[in-house]
């Protein structure tokens, strides 16, 4: 039997998930709600104008189109309970319950959970009052990390270098409401030294399958400088996650997290993403949890996935992941994000993008859309992060060169991108 699939979301992650789902021999048709200009032009794929916060509208659409599987991309509907709603309606939906989604929905919840189960993470304190937070900071060494407790689209984390900057950030979040309700409570934690990596697995409540490792580039500018963003590029696999570290992450982070969630009556089904800091001695510490695939890590990882994603998701919904295997392209994949100048702060949109068609026939190269829409027959920018240009090749360096060569063919007046995506991985490989 062939499945009809609905992907919820409109970013680069959702384009990549929908594209990979559509490649499966067991998928008949893929809908994306609301999608973007990229998903609008894929074969056997269609954008549908649904409000992703209106679960009854989504449920009705699934019934009308006989949708067999819903895959949820972004965090907001997961935290709001879309999986609970659709599951109760008898519709297979891959993702965590609202209770389990607290791992991302509240950083204070996640930190307390990590502490309860002795899962390695940074030392921290939680605050709701400016004065108490500032008093605490005056007793700390710098840098420190200040995080909005709730969802802030990947931008609610600030590394502060001194007391004046720290107090200004605390005031922004707690007093001036910079992140709305997401910042009404903050977490202040120690700054961890090391190298970041993204470890993502698929879980069914009890069993899990590790996805390919990856490394994101959070800072906007070359050399990991500039403000924090949702991610400016990624590559997979991540050489920093050696076989030994991989096993430590499984034993010290993933297994105790899934066991702890089960113990607390909220078994975790879905993509569990552990953002890690790997210390010089190989110790993995959890920076944050996400309860969905990362963006832009999804794009290169989906380029490497060979197994049918719909079958894996359905197995997880049925709690049958333990019998599944997963197959990967053994080559490297790398993706570079093209953003609007000014992102993640103020930026313009509506700029016509040229050159996309020149990459359509490139082998092992794919452009995933994020902030795009079609206007008068033209693809135009419609967000901060606009595109992710991905390439697969035998070495990380070759994948990097191919991705940047493809990117050079795409233009709009205010395009911005980092020029060093993958440099750390290439350095790792040259040293090993």
Residue 72 backbone zone (phi > 0: left; psi -120 to 50: alpha; other: beta)? beta
pLDDT for 197 equals 87
Interval 402-431 mean pLDDT: 96
Average pLDDT taken over every residue of the chain: 95
Give the pLDDT band (50/70/90) at residue 175: confident
Kindly report the backbone phi and psi dihedral angles of residue 200, in degrees, each rounded to the nearest multiple of 5, phi listed first.
-120, 135
Distance, in Å, from the CA atom of 56 to the CA atom of 60, rounded to the nearest integer, reads 6
Give the pLDDT band (50/70/90) at residue 155: low
Give the pLDDT band (50/70/90) at residue 180: confident
Under DSSP, is residue 144 helix (H, G, I), strand (E, B) or coil?
Answer: strand
pLDDT for 84 equals 98
Would the pTM of this model clear 0.75, i.e. be above it? Answer: yes
pLDDT for 152 equals 72
Interval 142-154 mean pLDDT: 85
Interval 74-83 mean pLDDT: 96
Give the pLDDT band (50/70/90) at residue 254: very high
pLDDT at 87 over 90: yes
Under DSSP, is residue 112 helix (H, G, I), strand (E, B) or coil?
Answer: helix
Q: What is the largest CA-CA distance in the chain?
A: 63
pLDDT for 382 equals 97
pLDDT at 182 over 70: no
The structure tokens 């079609």 sit at 374
Give the pLDDT band (50/70/90) at residue 228: confident
Distance, in Å, from the CA atom of 388 to the CA atom of 369, rounded to the nearest integer, reads 6
Distance, in Å, from the CA atom of 370 to the CA atom of 338, rounded to the nearest integer, reads 10
pLDDT for 167 equals 94
pLDDT for 196 equals 87
Nearest to 160 by CA among 135, 140, 184, 132: 140
pLDDT at 344 over 90: yes
Give the pLDDT band (50/70/90) at residue 184: confident
pLDDT for 183 equals 67
């Amino acid at each position: 039997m062939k499945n009809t699939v609905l992907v919820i979301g409109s970013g680069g992650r959702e384009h990549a998930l929908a594209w990979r789902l559509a490649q499966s021999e067991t998928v008949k048709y893929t809908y994306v709600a609301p999608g973007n200009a990229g998903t609008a032009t894929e074969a056997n794929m269609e954008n549908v104008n649904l409000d992703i916060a209106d679960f009854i509208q989504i449920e009705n659409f699934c019934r009308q189109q006989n949708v067999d599987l819903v895959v949820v991309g972004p965090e907001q509907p997961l935290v709001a309970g879309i999986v609970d709603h659709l599951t109760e309606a008898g519709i297979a939906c891959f993702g965590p319950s609202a209770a389990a989604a607290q791992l991302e929905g509240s950083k204070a919840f996640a930190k307390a959970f990590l502490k309860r189960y002795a899962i390695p993470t940074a030392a921290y304190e939680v605050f709701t009052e400016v004065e108490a937070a500032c008093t605490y900071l005056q007793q700390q060494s710098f840098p420190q990390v200040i995080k909005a407790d709730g969802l802030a689209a990947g931008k609610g984390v600030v590394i502060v270098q001194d007391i004046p900057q720290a107090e200004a950030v605390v005031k922004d979040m707690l007093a001036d409401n910079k992140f709305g309700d997401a910042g009404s409570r903050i977490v202040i934690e120690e700054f961890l030294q090391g190298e970041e990596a993204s470890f993502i697995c698929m879980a069914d409540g009890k069993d899990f399958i590790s996805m390919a490792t990856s490394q994101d580039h959070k800072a906007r500018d070359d050399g990991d400088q500039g403000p924090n963003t949702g991610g400016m590029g990624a590559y997979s696999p991540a050489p920093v996650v050696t076989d030994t570290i991989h096993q430590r992450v499984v034993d010290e982070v993933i297994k105790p997290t899934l066991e702890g969630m089960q113990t607390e009556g909220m078994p975790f089904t879905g993509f569990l993403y552990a953002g890690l800091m790997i210390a010089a001695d190989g110790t993995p510490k959890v920076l944050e949890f996400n309860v969905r695939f990362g963006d832009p890590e999804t794009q290169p990882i989906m380029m490497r996935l060979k197994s049918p994603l719909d079958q894996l998701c359905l197995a997880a919904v049925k709690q049958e992941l333990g019998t599944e295997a997963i197959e990967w392209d053994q080559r490297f994949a790398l993706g570079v994000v093209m953003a609007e100048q000014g992102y993640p702060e103020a930026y313009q949109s509506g700029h016509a993008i040229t050159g996309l068609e020149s990459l359509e026939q490139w082998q092992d190269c794919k452009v995933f859309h994020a902030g795009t829409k079609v206007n008068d027959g033209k693809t135009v920018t419609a967000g901060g992060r606009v595109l992710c240009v991905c390439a697969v090749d035998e070495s990380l360096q070759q994948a990097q060169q191919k991705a940047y060569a493809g990117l050079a063919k795409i233009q709009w007046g205010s395009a911005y991108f980092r020029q060093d995506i993958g440099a750390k991985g290439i350095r790792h490989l040259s040293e090993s």
